[in-house]
Every structure is written in C-alpha cells, then in structure tokens.
Amino acid sequence: MTTSPALPATPPLDDAAIDAVITWFDHAGRDLPWRHDGVTPWAVLVSEVMLQQTPVARVLPRWLEWMERWPEPAALAEAPTAEVLRAWDRLGYPRRALRLQECARAIVHEHGGEVPADLEALRALPGIGEYTAAAVTAFAHHERAVVVDTNIRRVLARAVTGAALPARSYSAAERTLATAVLPASRPRSVAWNQAVMELGALVCTARSPRCRSCPLAAHGCAWLAAGSPAPRPEQRRTQAFEGTDRQMRGQIMARLRGAQTVPVTELMTLDTQDPARVERCLASLLADGLARREGDLLRLP
C-alpha cells in the first residue's frame, strides 16, 4: 500500500500571502458569467469541462449558447448527439462533448437531475476527473477541495519551490503541496482556489509573467528571489499542432459538422501526400464514437 507524502509542519505560504492573493482577486478577477451568484452547479460543471485546455475567450460564447440551449442536465441528456457535436463547434477535443452528454445522462439517471455535491460521486461521473470534481465541489457547491489546474501548479511551483515551470506530469508531491497551502476554513479555501487560479491565468503566466503586478512578489516568491531562472529543458513544453493527427481530426470534424453526410473519398483529399494519415484519423474518430460510417459516407453519430 502506498502512502501520501507527509504534509510540511509549516504552511508553504503564510496567511498574509494567502490574503494578498485573495484581495488581489477581489479587484482584478474577471467578471465571468459562471462565477456569478446564483449560477447552477450544472453551469459551473459545463464551464469547467469547456475550459480544459481552451482559452476563456473561445469558451465564453459557446458556454452562453450552450446554457441557453441546454440549461439543465436533462435537456442535454435528451439532445441528438450530432447537435451536441455541432454546438461544441471548434472548442477542441470533441470527445469532451460526448463525455459531457454521458455525464448529463448519468446525473439524470443516478442523481435525479442534480449535480452531486459529494466529491466521490462527482469522480464517478463519465468524463469527470480529479481536477473537474474538485473544481465543481469548490466553485459550484462552495466546499473545501484541493483544486489544482495548470495555472495553480505554475504559481505554486514558482512561489514555493522556485522552479520556472512545474514538471510535465502532475505528481504526488504537487498534490501534497497544494493540500498544505489550502486554507483550513471552507469559505477561505474557496476564495483561495479561485484567486490563485486567476493569478496564474492573468499574472503568473507561462511565457511573460508580470511579476511587478503579482501580490506574491512582496511575500517571498522563491522564483523571483532566485532571479527568475529559465525553465529547465525537461520543463519546457512543445505545443506543435500543424501537421498533427489532432489537426487532421479537427479538419474532418469541421467537414462533418457542416453537412449531413460527407463522402470518404472527399475526406481523403485533405492530405494527398499522406493518405494513411487521413485513414488513421478517420479510424480514430469512428473508434471514439465521434463519427459513423455508412458505406462510403461519413456522418456525425
């Protein structure tokens, strides 16, 4: 049996540092509709799924349209899958749309149409992992939860460990650090989660951090104190997209969203230099349930 690393005896960030970040968020945080008072847990869940690896600017119009069309899990659960994929449009990773619909169906069938508040019940929903379950617990149900996304990982890596960027893979040590930093009181923990995530998105960014505007600069940020060292080679991330299978899958999905059916022969023209790439991507879309083949025609499911 494995055990989690022991929490440090002294919190990695003191109360003054925590308060500084929360106060910064109170006047600098973005006015996003899924943060408004009275927004439903379902609306928060949808926003969290959409925001995975997708900028807020792209998510906002889609979220507004989605909530207008499917304001409750029951509405999405009953929607034709093809309409769901068309509404997802170019948010990226369209499997998330399928998982979100499966999640809506599970909420209807297993939870009476209400997004559960229990962390383990959230984790059991289709497509809901550790981060999303914790985020819904904190931001929808206002309960204490260890929320760790890319932005939070980066802030903690810099402020506490002095690293320019976190490791490529989320580790047990990072989970322990985030747990140690999280304030003990429920309201303050929710405020901290929201604030530190926003700090990473707006100030402590990956490429051009604005340290002069950072509330942690006056509270002993380890990275700033070390002279803001560059990322180590193993910390650097490459986000190549051009020529990838992901790009090809997106091109195929765009064709499918725009027509009832598309001939496979037409899709093969997307890469005449490497037809095997097209075939590989077609096969993966079929396997993921994102497309359906009928003879020589392809369509949305």
Amino acid at 221: C
**How big is the CA angle at 5 (ends 160 and 126), to the nearest 5 degrees?**
95
How confident is the model at residue 244, as a pLDDT? 87
DSSP state letters, 194-244? HHHHHHHHHTS-SSS--GGG-TTGGGT-HHHHTT-PPPPGGG------TTS
Average pLDDT (22-37) is 97
Confidence of residue 243 (pLDDT cuts 50, 70, 90): confident
pLDDT of 1 strictly over 90: no
Per cent of the chain over pLDDT 90 is 87
- Strands of the sheet with 297-299, listed across from one edge: 262-263, 297-299, 292-294
Over range 42-65, report the average pLDDT: 96
Instruction: Supply the angle between the helices 15-28 and 186-202 in degrees, to the nearest 10.
Output: 60
Q: How many helices (H) and strands (E) does the chain have?
A: 15, 3
What amino acid is encoded at 71 in this protein?
P
220 in Cβ contact with 46 (< 8 Å): no
- Give residue 242's pLDDT band: very low, low, confident or very high (50, 70, 90): confident
Rg of the chain in Å (alpha carbons): 21
121-155 confidence digits (pLDDT tens): 999 999 999 999 999 999 999 999 999 999 999 99
Q: What is the pLDDT of residue 12?
A: 83
This model's pTM is above 0.85: yes
CA distance 207 to 252: 32
pLDDT in tens, 150-166: 999 999 999 999 999 99
Residues marked active site are found at 48
Predicted confidence (pLDDT) at residue 9 exceeds the cutoff of 70:
no
Supply the pLDDT for residue 92: 85
Largest CA distance in the chain: 65
Query: Rounded to 10 degrees, what is the CA torsion of 41, 44, 45, 50?
Result: 160
How many other C-beta atoms are found inside a 10 Å radius of the C-beta of residue 38? 5
pLDDT band at 251; cut points 50, 70, 90: very high
pLDDT in tens, 38-47: 999 999 999 9
